[in-house]
Amino acid sequence: MGYLSLRDVVKTYDGKTNAVDGVAIAIERGEFVTFLGPSGSGKTTTLMMIAGFEHPTSGTIELGGENLTERKPYQRNIGMVFQNYALFPHMTALKNVIFPLRMRHFPRADMEARARAMLDLVGLSRFADRLPRELSGGQQQRVALARGLVFNPDVLLLDEPLGALDKNLREQMQVEIKRIHREVGITMIYVTHDQTEAMTMSDRVAVFRDGRIEQVGSPLEVYDRPASRFVAEFIGGSNFFAGRADPARPGWVELDRLGAVRVAPAVAHVGDVDLLIRPERLRAGAAAYGENAFEMTVDDTINYGDSLLVIGSAHGLPLRARLVGRPAGTLTPGAILRLAWSPPDAHVLAKR
């Protein structure tokens, strides 16, 4: 049992198809957990059920050992930050932050000081008297964040809060939200379809697919050791090679077109498998890995400045390699590039 626990939570709108299908997860106090997945995967619906805006068809939601399932949103001490900010346009930043305190009947003498302290926490103390239309998108999002935190919620829910911001501002806000999480120590649940946000901000990531959770783990766990091909493809670039693992030859996989390759420390699956190699794990001209060397025919390249993405094929299999720096020679279409990988960089998945 975690501080916040969801047990076999199901949500259906039509009685036929489950938008959320048996979600179970335990979240510890003070954790930053991200619900990650494509549109329609059930992550936002799950968040809305935690907030109380949606009612589960079945299952239970517990917070601190108390059952929240039948409680109204205003009966739950849970904060919410929306993608569209949801600020009152006729209220100043300060009054927007004071509003939830007024609704919860906080002592009048304490409300303004508390709201100003929250605006200071998000770096907006100088803008307390401005209306939302006088603030930038990033500043409005900070006001929404201060409003969600001001009444000391047990949990803060954030529903794609950075989706409306440009790339640079999103990155700045990612850093700010993590800083605030460290300073306040509140339990946060963050919904996004952006894998970069999930990887850079989370203590743990729950990957959603078709109303279910495919995998829960630290960002590095779900990236380096995905539980399924879907998770591997959704988070980061991927190269897959079909093959077979023979228990009589531990530490090796026989690939259909590349032959026998070495993996480490041993293969957890037997029979038909998929071998995952991340594009950045491939090394150009790396003959030191012996058995895991092969040749790639170059089709195209994309220069990212700090790295070069090489697109091509090996023995007719599509392949991508992301190389740091610039490899020797010219990589024009048709060029042959010798690649290799270290055995610990391979991840073996059972065929589904």
CATH number at residue 211: 3.40.50.300
Residue range 215-268, pLDDT digits in tens? 999 999 999 999 999 999 999 999 999 999 888 888 888 898 888 888 876 666
Helices 108-121, 167-184: axis angle to 10 degrees equals 130
CATH number of the CATH domain containing 279: 2.40.50.140
Give the number of other Cβ atoms within 10 Å of residue 174's Cβ: 18
* Sheet strands side by side (includes 336-340): 283-284, 336-340, 293-303, 307-314, 317-324
pLDDT of res. 265:
66
- Give yes or no: residues 93 and 214 share one domain: yes
Q: Give the DSSP per-residue string, 182-233.
A: HHH--EEEEEES-HHHHHHH-SEEEEEETTEEEEEE-HHHHHHS-SSHHHHH
- Give yes or no: residues 213 and 272 share one domain: no
- Give yes or no: residues 174 and 48 share one domain: yes
Last residue of a domain, one of 211, 229, 247: 229
Last residue of a domain, one of 229, 249, 284: 229
Domain of residue 325: give its range: 237-350
- Chain mean position to CA 271: 31
- Give yes or no: residues 156 and 275 share one domain: no
- Give yes or no: residues 174 and 261 share one domain: no
**What is the overall mean pLDDT for the chain?**
91
Element at 174 (helix H, strand E): helix 167-184
- Give yes or no: residues 326 and 260 share one domain: yes
Contact 258, 294 (CB under 8 A): yes
Residue range 33-73, pLDDT digits in tens? 999 999 999 999 999 999 999 999 999 999 999 999 999 99
- Give yes or no: residues 208 and 245 share one domain: no
- Give yes or no: residues 212 and 305 share one domain: no
Contact 18, 10 (CB under 8 A): yes
Residue whose pair of structure tokens reads 């904060």 in the numeric block: 79
- Give yes or no: residues 96 and 185 share one domain: yes
* Whether pLDDT at 342 is above 80: yes
- Give yes or no: residues 244 and 189 share one domain: no
Residue range 5-42, pLDDT digits in tens? 999 999 999 989 999 999 999 999 999 999 999 999 99
Last residue of a domain, one of 207, 229, 251: 229
- Give yes or no: residues 277 and 144 share one domain: no
- Give yes or no: residues 311 and 286 share one domain: yes
In the chain, the percentage of residues whose pLDDT exceeds 90 is 68
- Chain mean position to CA 64: 25
Cα-Cα-Cα-Cα dihedral sign, residues 312, 316, 319, 325? negative
* Whether pLDDT at 287 is above 60: no
* Sheet strands side by side (includes 58-63): 18-27, 4-12, 58-63, 66-67
Of 151 and 326, more confident: 151
- Structural domain total, the chain: 2
Of 260 and 164, more confident: 260
pTM: 0.91
